[in-house]
A and B are shown apart, each in its own frame.
Chain A
Amino acid sequence: MRAYAFRRILQFIPTILIISVIMFVLLNLLPGNAALMAGDQRKAPDPRVVEQLKKEWGIDKPIHTRYFIYLKGLVQGDLGTSFLRREPVNKLVGERIWPTLRLSFAALFISVAIGIPLGFISALKRGSLIDTASMVAAVSGVSLPQFWLGLLMMYLFSVVLGWLPSSGYGNGNFVNLIMPAFTLGIGYTALLARATRAAVLEVLHKDYIRTARAKGLSEIMVNWRHVMRNTMVLVLTTAGLQFGALIGQTVIVEKLFSWPGLGSLLVDSIFQRDIPVTQGCILVMILVFLIVNLVVDLLYSVVDPRIEY
């Protein structure tokens, strides 16, 4: 298993390399650059200042030279220097990554704690009122525009009831985390509930479940030992693949709740044409997604002993 994990981590290298080329080419084709936007917006930029800034940032060189300079830094774990803030991207991203991870994992926790049991119960009580109600809720959950839901929650819990702060990080207070985490997690919860229900229904038809029942195991034992474990592999696959969507949506939720994470840094850097920061944010987000999927793959063998690496 350790060898497998190591091999998988090695596979990150070509993936990150190709993504870095795609992103570098894409973002460096951007019309307008930070050099023009760094000065006073109201006045026409001084061409000498622009030239000087271009030189300082190294964007006066041809694109392939720039890429190799960037790659050289990347290999050493250096994401470059922000155009506008004149600070290392590592520092900017480093400050922002913890709030994003906190938010994502809180959302993940909510989804697992609600979505999986809900899907499980729905499948076992198929056709019942609870099944219909939770599946209607689940399909609604994947169809809601998140930021709209966030706005409605802000209105209810902050303006009307006054229970929760409407936005901001609040020095990491737990109360500030609740609404963003639910807003981010709602779609993922719905998705996990649907995936779990489908997986359980598939497993319930298998012969080994009939055998387990035939040998007189109680329903609880059948469900717990046989259905649950066999379902988890299917659910984990969906959970891992869709985690990327969750990371993508942090951008929206962080902007809505003024959450100081990677997502809001990414959007700000796009509007400021601060390309090194944009690249850094995207690469770190993708790395998080790759690591989560590696963990999911390693969990397969924990959940299902038949799978060995």
Chain B
Amino acid sequence: MAFSKAALKGNSNLIIGAVLTVLVIGMAVFAPVLAPYHPVDDADLMVAEEPPSSDYLCGTDTQGRDVLSRVIYGSRISLSVGLVSQLINTLIGVILGVTAGYFGSWWDDLIMGLTNIMLSIPSMIFALAIMALLGPGLVNIYIALGLTNWSFTCRITRSQVLSAKRIEYIRAAEALGYGKWRIMFGQILPNVVGPILVMATLGIAYAILTEASLSFLGLGTQPPTPSWGGMLSNAREEFFTAPWISIFPGLAIFATVLGFNLLGDGLRDLLDPHKL
């Protein structure tokens, strides 16, 4: 991995992606400082559905809450969904992929069979079924999205492990009598971490988008939690009369997902300079 200045130069995806991502993380961390109002408690029906003004930069929603403040606090929900669910996906995908690639035989067959079945269920549909079982709510979103999008990570990890297994120093570690688990996670894994990182970054973008979709269907986070998808869903009826209620959360989702997608693309170019 060459993190040199030369590698960064011309990789505008990585730079723009990183800037957008840092901005969103900053927004989430400093939400109480940045937001002019409280996202839930500062509801004032006297100022419901006010268009953007100097008091309310992005206008107010149907219950008179400041849209800007809700968008700022919403970054916490969306980021947490992206990070937590993708962490679960990565853990499942990496553990299954590494062990399948390293042990081979029936365990490999079993894991690959399972992965192929996962790949043949559209993950949105699977997440929908899990949300139907668990009911709406933030924790359930983590679970539903965390269990349904690990198959690509698993496949990539496995194929990387299969090729890493034949490298000399891994065989040397085996000859030295290192334990299997130490070889798998101490020796092989650090060598295959690049593609996994790229998948994880793109997975965060996917999870944020899917959470918004599930919330739109009414199976996501519940009001009054200020989630971007939920805000869009609630504002659907008012879209034609008070479009600002929907436009700003939509832009926030777009910018955040774009940031992670660009970051993922940029990382891929950085880690794999041969493949353009």
Contacts and interface: CB of A to CB of B under 8 A. Distances in A.
Interface residues of A, number: 47
Contacts of B232: 145, 147-148, 151
A147 B213 CA distance: 8
A245 B217 contact: no
Contact of A148 (B13, B240, B253): B253
B189 interface: no
B229 interface: yes
B47 to A, nearest CB: 24
A27 B129 contact: yes
Interface string B118-135: 011111110011101101
B129 A285 contact: no
Contacts of B216: 145, 147, 252, 255-256
Interface stretch (A35-43, A70-78, A136-144, A299-307): A136-144
Interface in A150-166: 151-152, 154-155, 159
B120 A286 contact: yes
Contacts of A26: 129-130, 133
Interface stretch (A15-23, A51-59, A85-93, A173-181): A15-23
Nearest to B116: A15
A202 interface: yes
A278 B239 contact: no
A3 interface: no
Given A19-B117, A145-B250, A267-B217, A151 B258 contact: no
A101 interface: no
Interface string A1-39: 000000000000001001100010011011100000000
B265 A252 contact: no
B141 to A, nearest CB: 15
A142 B205 CA distance: 10
A248 B120 contact: no
Contact of B124 (A145, A245, A293): A245
Contacts of A23: 129
Contact of A245 (B122, B239, B275): B122
Given A26-B130, A155-B240, A143 B122 contact: no
B82 to A, nearest CB: 13
Interface string B243-258: 1001000100110011
A290 B117 CA distance: 10
B236 interface: yes
A140 B253 contact: no
Interface in A227-250: 241, 244-245, 247-249
A282 interface: yes
A145 B120 contact: no
Nearest to B250: A148
A278 B125 CA distance: 10
Contacts of B123: 244-245, 248
B121 A27 contact: no
Interface string B77-120: 00000000000000000000000000000000000000011011
A289 interface: yes
A270 B253 CA distance: 26
A193 interface: no
Given A248-B123, A286-B121, A289-B120, 10 more contacts: A18-B117, A139-B258, A139-B265, A145-B209, A147-B232, A148-B246, A152-B250, A245-B122, A248-B125, A255-B217
Interface of A: 15, 18-19, 23, 26-27, 29-31, 139-140, 142-148, 151-152, 154-155, 159, 198, 201-202, 241, 244-245, 247-249, 251-252, 255-256, 266-267, 270-271, 278, 282, 285-286, 289-290, 293
26 contacts: A15-B120, A26-B129, A27-B129, A27-B132, A139-B13, A140-B258, A144-B254, A145-B216, A145-B232, A145-B254, A147-B232, A148-B212, A151-B236, A202-B275, A241-B119, A245-B122, A248-B124, A249-B213, A256-B216, A270-B128, A270-B129, A270-B219, A278-B129, A282-B121, A286-B121, A289-B122
